[in-house]
Chain A
Amino acid sequence: GAVVSQHPSRVICKSGTSVKIECRSLDFQATTMFWYRQFPKQSLMLMATSNEGSKATYEQGVEKDKFLINHASLTLSTLTVTSAHPEDSSFYICSAETETYEQYFGPGTRLTVT
């Protein structure tokens, strides 16, 4: 089956620094990837849609200058949280879409900003 990986699985960073999260589709090519944020005991909130070779489409209320998304290849999308603050601490999950529009999810990245 389709496998999506994320790296790192956990990261702790100091307030004001930036952190990059990678999302890779391991055995298929994904023109489209999605980035979600999940708060404790809550559902997934779609942050942005990442399209290979073009700019990401951000959902309303998501700061595109703070959450930089790059989809440089058909198997890799990155999310960079710039100038992170404690309120950015969250669980970030990516998904990658197959040619048949099925989404496969990564295992998630736990970000803690101190």
Chain B
Amino acid sequence: GDSVTQMEGPVTLSEEAFLTINCTYTATGYPSLFWYVQYPGEGLQLLLKATKADDKGSNKGFEATYRKETTSFHLEKGSVQVSDSAVYFCALQNSGYSTLTFGKGTMLLVSP
């Protein structure tokens, strides 16, 4: 079955540091890939997505590239802010199916 594996957190960084959160997946077919962000006490917000190999999703300074050869979709940001502190979820949606498969989430803590 489909699965998503994320690096375990928490990831602790100082403001303006470079961020990478690793995500790899296993899926049949050609899934779409997503990153969602969850701020404390809130629901999930879509951060970015990519629907096919080599696509790059980007939003609010975050980027992730769909790498079919390595089945990865790592999240990166060049300079994090305190306000980026949240839990980040990698997810996939297989073609022809509605349901999302989520990774376990990675907490990011950014200190001033």
Q: Taking beta carbons and an 8 Å cutoff, which residues of A are in contact with B?
A: 4, 6, 32, 34, 41-44, 46, 49, 93, 95, 97, 101-108, 110
Contact = CB atoms under 8 A, between A and B. Distances in A.
9 contacts: A41-B105, A44-B102, A46-B100, A97-B98, A101-B93, A103-B93, A103-B100, A107-B42, A107-B43
A34 B43 contact: no
Contacts of B100: 34, 46, 95, 103
Contact of B105 (A32, A34, A42, A101): A42
Contacts of B89: 43-44
A42 B102 CA distance: 10
Contacts of A93: 43-44
Interface in B5-60: 36, 41-46
A105 B98 contact: no
B99 interface: yes
Contact of B98 (A101, A104, A110): A101
A49 B99 CA distance: 8
Contacts of B42: 107-108
A42 B46 CA distance: 18
B33 to A, nearest CB: 13
Nearest to A2: B46
